[in-house]
């Protein structure tokens, strides 16, 4: 079975869209995405510097747009729609995954993310907060150290990686007394996402998202909240409600990966700007073949993965 996963905030790099704009149709897609988000994604994806694209209001629609551009370019190469057996996205990547699953159209997903990004940027600007990766350490000791410092486990990523979030003062306390055998790395994000600091953003975003056009998923869509798998019969509005709630709730990527394993995924494709989720999968999903699309040069490898693991899924279904 093939799974498609979509990266979250922090995956962006300066100039990452430049090679994609050399492909047919990309410029038109990107123009539509820019209009939907109210952000000049072409400029930000080609010439803006790292500090500019670190801005939450820019980074989130830029990342989701890049993921969807990569998917549509892959479909052009394959010559048919690519519908995986399952899909999931990390944090804002859930919106790209919702488009992969058919819950949202591409432009609708980017447009909705544009609102999310602005509200989260406003919430982040209200107080000096941030996020710090915690690599390694005993999970119980990491959890105890987070609680002692007064910070939240905003991302539980599996593979020995947790992301702490909170006030800059609390993160500094945590860094001064890190858990044994753990490495602490401050992240280049602008706020304490997926914590109670985002409650004002959740409330504003919920009002916008409540009437957003959506459809039932056409393939299994795995939620960041608890790793639950949603498929046919799930209302699109229910998916959107989960996406809204996730703004102030921890990302349980460890549970998403556990669900992928339970579903029998054999091949995992990370859409652009990929790399981080592939690395986590290598540690948490042994035996699963992984490919990350970082540029158009990765499309042949992605096409090969899709062909072989989609065929596996078809043969398994036929054997039932």
Cα 29 to the center of its chain, rounded Å: 20
Separation between Cα atoms, residue 128 and residue 219, nearest integer Å: 40
Catalytic pick among 194, 214, 284, 310: 194
Q: Out of 34, 67, 91, 223, which one is annotated catalytic?
A: 91
Residue for token pair 């998202």: 209
Catalytic residue check, 91: yes
List the 267-270 sheet strands across, edge first: 229-230, 220-222, 86-89, 2-6, 267-270, 289-292
Contact 231, 84 (CB under 8 A): no
Tokens of 264: 């029998």
Question: Any residues with CB less than 8 A from the CB of 281 and at least 6 apart, and which?
Answer: 5, 257, 268, 270, 288, 290
User: Three-state SS for 300?
Assistant: helix
Tokens of 311: 């065929």
Q: Write out the catalytic residue numbers.
A: 91, 194
């Amino acid at each position: 079975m093939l799974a498609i996963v979509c990266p979250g905030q922090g995956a962006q790099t300066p100039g990452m869209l430049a090679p994609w704009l050399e492909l047919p149709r990309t410029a038109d897609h990107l123009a539509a995405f820019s209009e939907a988000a109210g952000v000049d994604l072409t400029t930000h994806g080609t010439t803006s510097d790292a500090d500019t694209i670190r801005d939450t209001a820019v980074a989130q629609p830029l990342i989701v747009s890049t993921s969807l551009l990569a998917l549509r370019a892959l479909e052009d190469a394959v010559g048919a729609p690519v519908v995986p057996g399952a899909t999931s996205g990390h944090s804002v990547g859930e919106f790209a995954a919702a488009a992969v699953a058919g819950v949202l159209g591409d432009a609708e997903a980017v447009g909705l993310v544009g609102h999310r990004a602005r509200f989260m940027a406003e919430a982040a600007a209200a107080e000096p907060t941030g996020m710090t990766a915690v690599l390694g350490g005993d999970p119980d000791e990491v959890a105890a150290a987070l609680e002692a410092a007064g910070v939240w486990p905003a991302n539980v990523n599996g593979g020995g990686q947790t992301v702490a979030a909170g006030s800059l003062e609390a993160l500094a306390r945590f860094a001064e007394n890190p858990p044994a055998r753990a490495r602490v790395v401050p992240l280049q994000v602008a706020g304490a996402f997926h914590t109670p600091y985002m409650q004002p953003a959740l409330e504003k975003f919920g009002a916008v998202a409540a009437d957003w056009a959506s459809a039932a998923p056409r393939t299994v869509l795995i939620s960041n909240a608890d790793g639950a798998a949603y498929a046919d019969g799930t209302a699109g509005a229910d998916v959107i409600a989960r996406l809204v709630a996730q703004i102030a709730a921890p990302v349980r990527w460890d549970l998403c990966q556990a669900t992928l394993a339970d579903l029998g995924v054999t091949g995992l494709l990370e859409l652009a700007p990929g790399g981080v989720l592939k690395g986590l999968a290598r540690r948490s999903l042994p035996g699963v073949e992984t490919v990350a699309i970082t540029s158009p040069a990765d499309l042949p490898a992605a096409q090969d993965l899709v062909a072989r693991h989609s065929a596996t899924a078809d043969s398994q279904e036929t054997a039932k």
